[in-house]
Amino acid sequence: MTRPDGVPALTNVTIDGERLWGTLMETAKIGGTAKGGIRRLTMSEEDKRVRDWFKAACEAAGCTVTVDTIGNMFARREGKNPDLPPICMGSHLDTQPTGGKFDGILGVLAGLEAIRSLDAIGYQTNAPIEVINWTNEEGARFTPAMMASGAFAGVFTEEYILSRTDREGTTFADAMDAIGYRGDTPLGGRKLGAMFELHIEQGPILEAEDRMIGVVTGVQSIRWFELTITGAAAHAGATPMPARRDALVGAARAIEAVEAVALAHAPDGVGTVGILECRPGSTNVVPGEVFLTIDLRHPLDEVVARMEEDLRARLAEIQGRLEFGLERIWVSPAVHFDPVLIGHVREAAERLGFRHRDIASGAGHDAVYTARICPTTMVFVPCKEGISHNEAEESTFEQCAAGTQVLLNAVLAYDATLEG
Ligand SMILES: [Zn+2]
């Protein structure tokens, strides 16, 4: 759309909230559970049905749908300039075994709604638009999570993905072939112009602050550790207290230290002990060895590094006559999204009059991997009490519509900066 003076006009394209909600509720029946959630594991029969639904809906909207060799789906709507790489929207249609109706699904169906809204007024973008359904974001049936967007970005090889097995021993390749979703488009190897992913927050911050939109600036920096505490197993009756080297008492102090480290880096620092194993595990034996895991996160790499130093110092203080073996097993650097795209999202929220705030994602998303290969950003909407990966996951009609409108406006604002 061009004004008479030749300047591209930012036409208002209004999404249809009812239509969007209708698609969310209709597809929620595919793998729908009695408690109102969804069970739609990657490359299952339910996954096939929702993929078939998505393909048909996109084709009905005039898109060309291609599928790559690991099942990623791309619904393309051409723009004025075929030489431009596509502006992409999307997320994932797979769920956890007892997942909710919005995690991932909202981001894909919002892309479909955006296309339908553009079609409704015959809006022609400069760049092609693609709506993407990334395979197996959840990592529930096959690990790792986000494996197909990662493979698209060159983080994993195709052979690695195809050979992953589920708990029954079925390979990803066999599961994909069983539902007929091994496509013939080569994996990756082409340029994406930009990626916008709308997602529910999966945390409580937006709701608590009564904000409609999270302008996602990036993904937190993460460090994982394993801590093995060695003391001495001893008789629970015959060993006097001063003579004991109780590894579980040491673990209790270590868990408090993890909490203290996180609180010392509030409000953004978080620390979690998620696994605790106590050996030998007998009522009348003083625990001789404890194994536990530690997860530290903060939006900034340098702060997580300081949190680790702080943790090491505190553990050294409390170890006493125990041995503390702390091993760092995984480092995931902070992801910083594209400042230009972030600006478009913030401005879209602003212009639409939605209360918003900048926020760093606490969870991983496909956008983490696409950020390696193209300008990427995300839009968050609140979900009730921050509950996610749960059948009770809930976002409202208004929240889903608001996020979708912000998504589309940001995409169109970015598109307007390109040559038609
Ligand atoms: Zn998700």
Ligand 1 center to residue 236 CA distance, Å? 47
The helix, strand and coil proportions of the chain, stated in percent and rounded to the nearest 5, come to 35, 25, 40
The length of the chain is 420
Ligand 1 center to residue 92 CA distance, Å? 7
Ligand 1 center to residue 228 CA distance, Å? 32
Is a pLDDT exceeding 80 seen at residue 11? Answer: no
What's the token pair of residue 106? 């909202």
Write the pLDDT tens digit of every residue in 45-101.
999 999 999 999 999 999 999 999 999 999 999 999 999 999 999 999 999 999 999
Ligand 1 center to residue 46 CA distance, Å? 17
- The whole-number pLDDT of residue 121 equals 95
- The whole-number pLDDT of residue 12 equals 82
- The whole-number pLDDT of residue 2 equals 46
Ligand 1 center to residue 306 CA distance, Å? 29
Ligand 1 center to residue 91 CA distance, Å? 7
- The whole-number pLDDT of residue 420 equals 82
Ligand 1 center to residue 308 CA distance, Å? 28
Confidence bin at 8 (pLDDT 50/70/90): very low
Ligand 1 center to residue 366 CA distance, Å? 8
- The whole-number pLDDT of residue 262 equals 98
Ligand 1 center to residue 403 CA distance, Å? 15
Write the pLDDT tens digit of every residue in 326-379.
999 988 899 999 999 999 999 999 999 999 999 999 888 999 999 999 999 999
- The whole-number pLDDT of residue 35 equals 96
Q: What is the pTM of this model?
A: 0.88
Can you tell me the distance from the alpha carbon of 181 to that of 151, in angstroms, rounded to the nearest whole number?
16
Can you tell me the distance from the alpha carbon of 102 to that of 257, in angstroms, rounded to the nearest whole number?
36
Can you tell me the distance from the alpha carbon of 200 to that of 195, in angstroms, rounded to the nearest whole number?
16
How far is residue 189 from each of residues 68, 151, 153, 198, measured CA to CA in Å? 11, 10, 9, 24
Ligand 1 center to residue 338 CA distance, Å? 20
What's the token pair of residue 278? 């106590």
Instruction: Categorise residue 328: left if φ over 0, alpha if ψ from -120 to 50, beta otherwise.
Output: beta
Closest CA to 118 of 50, 110, 26: 110
- The whole-number pLDDT of residue 6 equals 47
Is a pLDDT exceeding 60 seen at residue 135? Answer: yes
Ligand 1 center to residue 277 CA distance, Å? 30
Window from 6-15, 95-104, 124-133, 144-153 with minimum mean pLDDT: 6-15
Ligand 1 center to residue 234 CA distance, Å? 47
- The whole-number pLDDT of residue 164 equals 97
Ligand 1 center to residue 320 CA distance, Å? 43
Considering only CA atoms, give the Rg of the chain.
Answer: 24
What's the token pair of residue 342? 């972030």
Can you tell me the distance from the alpha carbon of 287 to that of 380, in angstroms, rounded to the nearest whole number?
45
Write the pLDDT tens digit of every residue in 212-233.
999 999 999 999 999 999 999 9
Is a pLDDT exceeding 70 seen at residue 1? Answer: no
- The whole-number pLDDT of residue 419 equals 87
Is a pLDDT exceeding 70 seen at residue 389? Answer: yes
353-375 CB burial, b ≥16 within 10 A, e <16:
ebebeebbbbbbbbbbbbbebbb
Ligand 1 center to residue 63 CA distance, Å? 24
Ligand 1 center to residue 14 CA distance, Å? 25
Ligand 1 center to residue 407 CA distance, Å? 16
Instruction: Confirm if 93 and 136 have CB atoms less than 8 A apart.
Output: no
Write the pLDDT tens digit of every residue in 293-324.
999 999 999 999 999 999 999 999 999 999 99
Rounded to the nearest integer, the mean pLDDT of the chain is 96
Residue 153: phi, psi to the nearest 5? -85, 0
Is a pLDDT exceeding 60 seen at residue 5? Answer: no
Instruction: Categorise residue 154: left if φ over 0, alpha if ψ from -120 to 50, beta otherwise.
Output: left
Residue carrying the six token digits 């509030």: 266
